[in-house]
Structure 1
Amino acid sequence: MNNRIFTSSDFIVPSNEEPLRSVVTSSDDSTIIMWTVKPGQVIKPHIHPEGQDTWYVLAGSAEYISDDTDKRTSIQKGDFVIAYKGEIHGAVNNGDEPFTFISVVSPSNAGFQLK
């Protein structure tokens, strides 16, 4: 088994309860996560106080929450979205299909705090 090549479809797992976060791999440098967000589900606004979170949208669309005033911007398949150290971010899937994206949090010990 090669621990440097991963198939994204192996990590796409929708959940009826809340958005599902599947860790693809992790090292001290970064953690790679596959997110599956069903229509109507929300990733609550949060920050990583000690690092950056970079998203690449694979499928669907969402409203990206980018500050504490609930400012929203549409994001869709093919978009890169970056939350730099300490920046608020989250998402609402208000579409008709799953919103699927890859998140790279760096470093892995970037922390997590709801806002």
Structure 2
Amino acid sequence: METMLNRRLFRIEEVSQFCEQEGKKTIFYETPKTAGAVWCLKPGQSVFTHAHTTSDDLWIVLKGTGTFFPEPGKEVTITKGDMVISYPGEQHGMKNTGDEDFVFVGVAGPMPMDLICFDDE
């Protein structure tokens, strides 16, 4: 029988998954209000540039160094310990430009969350 603690406590190493072909997103919880996911990227892999019209999207970098794309033509270096918030309508995407794996947790809401995709640069 699952206890309340099992539904509330997650371990990064248990929800982190990598894929050799592309960055891997693993949703580890979803409620009517928010959702959480772990993104795992090998060097050179990326998260496509996108936005959400009504949801905030908070990224918390746990490992690695990458390049964040906050708007067309702009790049910002992000690394372990950084937190990046994208508000509704704001473009966001990133690429692992470092030499090691890149891992971040994303928390977004409110739900449901739409997705507006942009051409990757």
Percent same amino acid among aligned pairs?
Answer: 32
How many Å separate the matches in 1 of 2:70 and 2:92? 5
Match of 2:80 among 77, 95, 106: 77
The superposition leaves residues 50-108 of structure 1 with CA deviations (integer Å, 9 ceiling, x where unpaired) of 11100000000110000123x11000000110000110000011111111000001113
Counterpart AA for 2:53: P
Match of 1:46 among 21, 34, 50: 50
Indicate conservation of the 8 Å contact 1:52/1:110, yes or no.
no
How many Å separate the matches in 2 of 1:105 and 1:38? 23
> Deviation at 1:110?
2.1
How many Å separate the matches in 2 of 1:50 and 1:16? 32
Partner of residue 66, structure 1 = 70
Indicate conservation of the 8 Å contact 1:61/1:95, yes or no.
yes
Is there any run of 5+ residues in structure 1 with no aligned partner, and where? none
Is there any run of 5+ residues in structure 2 with no aligned partner, and where? none
Match of 1:28 among 28, 32, 49: 32
Choose 1 or 2 for highest CA Rg.
Answer: 2
Aligned length: 114
Partner of residue 107, structure 1 = 110
Does the alignment pair 1:98 with 2:101?
yes
How many Å separate the matches in 2 of 1:100 and 1:108? 23
User: What TM-score, normalized by structure 2, do the two folds share?
Assistant: 0.91
Structure 1 residue runs of 4 or more that deviate by more than 4 Å after TM superposition:
none
Partner of residue 57, structure 1 = 61
Counterpart AA for 2:92: H
- RMSD across aligned positions (CA): 0.9
Aligned-partner SS, 1:3:
helix
> Deviation at 1:109?
1.2
User: What TM-score, normalized by structure 1, do the two folds share?
Assistant: 0.95
